[in-house]
Structure 1
Amino acid sequence: MSADNCVGNVSVPLRNLLNSIQCIRDRVRDGEANESDGAFNISNFWDTLNQAVKAVSQEATKLSLAFSKPPLPSQQDGEKLADSILKSVLTLSTVYYWLPKSQGVSLRRQVRDATVEVLEGVAQLVEVILSSPLQSLSQEQLTSTGGVWSACDQFAQLPQDNKAAVLVVLSAQIGVVKDAIEEIEQALAEADDPYSDVLDDDQGGDEPRGNQDTYWSEKDRSVIGPCQGLMKASAACLRKLTSAVKANGDVSTSQNLAQLDDLADITKEISPCVDDLALCLYPPMDYSGVESNASKLATLLKKVLSIIRSSHVCGESQLTWVQFLDGAVDHNLQKAKDLIHNS
């Protein structure tokens, strides 16, 4: 039998496998959870899920090794490999579906995303093998195999309950907001011209640029102050909320689980709002845009603080900072508006 016929025969089970994995991946990405009847054993779920992930990693390794050097597997061996990896993938997706929404939406989203990443990794590995089945082990195949291992390894770092999942969301928001604050502070500290590092290379001769659109005026700089105040209030809110969730977050009742999910969902809106405000602070400054984005951020922060106040994570000691930040948001927004309109 010619090599081409061999390739043709062994590629059939691989193509079928690829189609099946892609269908399973799409169902996991878009599907709904099973609602659990009665008690759900989350410890048993994690044990079984981790075993399923380990099995996928091992099967992907076997598949990669089988196609790492000639001779190619026979069609029969190819079918066995494909069946074995498909079984492991189906088991993983089935175990994922055990996790009901009643354990928390934030937790389920993160487990879903991790599961989808593994399925995408396996699909990519099969695609790479299909595209070069007779070659020796290619760099692309090595990279794809490593991608599956890496996606599987992430399960060890997944949050184990909804409280931990919400803390992951908050941590990501804090990082983005912190970056936005630091970028503005750096631009203000460096020079009058925040674009100097970008544009200086194009500048001919020693003459300074005459385009004032790249500079902040005194009024611009005064308006930036309270806008920075709003951005810092955002960061403080996220930091304080993180501490409150760590101290008081509870996953023992459906009401408290839902409150944690509400907090995660509303706080996800903070970093895009902070970014929008930060971007419109660069010259040439459009004051109406600054006022609009500052108002949007202030409205959002007041909504977040209101949800925190009415949630179980807000005890007596949290009320003080909630009220303080609520006042700080009002103060900074009013100050920004006054500076925009009165000077």
Structure 2
Amino acid sequence: MSADNSRPDVLTPLRNLCNSVKCSRDRVRDGESNECSGMFSLSNFWQTLSEAVKSASQEATKLSVMFSKPPPPSEEDCVKIAESVQKSVLTLSTVYFWLPKSQGVTLRKVVRDATAEVLDGLVHLLEAILSSPGESLSQEQLMSTGGVWAACDQFNQLPKENRSAVLGVLTACAGLVKDALEEMEQALAEAQDPFGDVLDDEDDDDEGNQDTHWSEADRLLIAQCQGLMKASGASLRRLCAAVRNNSTLEPEEKIAQLDDLADAAREISPRCVEELESNIKSRR
């Protein structure tokens, strides 16, 4: 290792870059979109965003390869790669902020989370490199590089307009209700004891038996809760069908109505369903 490469200031550009990426990530998570004063093209947005994501993935690869084996790069090379990565980060975050709320709050949340995940992956990669500069490729650095790639690849599967984003929320909520209902039915089946009547006759005061079996009143309550969950699941499935078959992509008023549906679905699950399921299980 040369004397220049061993100086602490060689890695200063990477440390500054890491702090800058953290700021960009936090700004994406908490910031507001720019107001769209003119015509907004959703297709152009996705094309530009796709190019920005591809650039971020490529820069992460270059960065990781540069620090994959000793000796570490020179200070000049560190400055160059830091500037290149910083440019891709600023481009990605800037393009994200192009997406106005008028295109759908639900869609914007999906894009926001995906963008923040890419930036967070870059932070982890930089931290892995800074923790062991000049050494061979570490497992942490390898995993961090793969994490950036995975975060970038997921953009291909993101919904491209608000209807698809809302449909994803509704489908996920319906799936959660279905899973909770199946868990409840399984717990109820496991509580069935073919010798329960015998045990009850022999010892009605057996606390252990009371702890492991539901009373008739509990079973009646559970049946009513199951009916409520089934009704919720059926409503969500019908909403999914209605959104899939009837909703339009514009105007903005209808886009906002779709967001209201997504918010209403979130009120049904996961919080309410999980709380109901937990309270029922606690009665055992």
Counterparts of residues 57-206 of structure 1 (less than 5 Å): 57-192=57-192
Match of 2:281 in 1: 282
Distance in 1 of aligned mates of 2:150 and 2:8? 31
Distance in 1 of aligned mates of 2:121 and 2:179? 30
Distance in 1 of aligned mates of 2:273 and 2:4? 57
**Partners of 2:4 and 2:74 within 8 A in 1:** no
Unaligned runs of 5+ in 1: 194-207, 286-343
Which is bigger in relative contact order (C-alpha 8 A, separation at least 6)? 2
Match of 1:226 in 2: 224
Deviation at 1:7, TM superposition (A): 5.5
Distance in 1 of aligned mates of 2:282 and 2:18? 51
Deviation at 1:2, TM superposition (A): 5.6
Runs of 4+ in 1 over 4 A off after TM superposition: 1-5
Instruction: Name the CA shift for 1:59/1:7 in 2 (closer, same or farther; >3 Å).
Output: farther
Q: TM-score, normalization: structure 2? A: 0.91
**Partners of 2:191 and 2:213 within 8 A in 1:** no
Match of 1:292 in 2: none
Unaligned runs of 5+ in 2: 194-205
**Partners of 1:107 and 1:162 within 8 A in 2:** yes
Deviation at 1:190, TM superposition (A): 2.2
Amino acid at match of 2:256: A
**Partners of 1:214 and 1:283 within 8 A in 2:** no
**Partners of 2:162 and 2:255 within 8 A in 1:** yes
Distance in 1 of aligned mates of 2:158 and 2:114? 8
Count of aligned residue pairs for this structure pair? 271
Deviation at 1:215, TM superposition (A): 1.7
Deviation at 1:180, TM superposition (A): 0.6
**Partners of 1:69 and 1:136 within 8 A in 2:** yes
Amino acid at match of 1:58: Q
Distance in 1 of aligned mates of 2:282 and 2:37? 58
**SS of structure 2 residue aligned to 1:280:** helix
Distance in 2 of aligned mates of 1:26 and 1:210? 52
Q: Percent of pairs identical after alignment?
A: 64
Match of 1:43 in 2: 43
**SS of structure 1 residue aligned to 2:208:** coil
Match of 2:255 in 1: 257
**Partners of 1:7 and 1:133 within 8 A in 2:** no
Q: TM-score, normalization: structure 1? A: 0.76
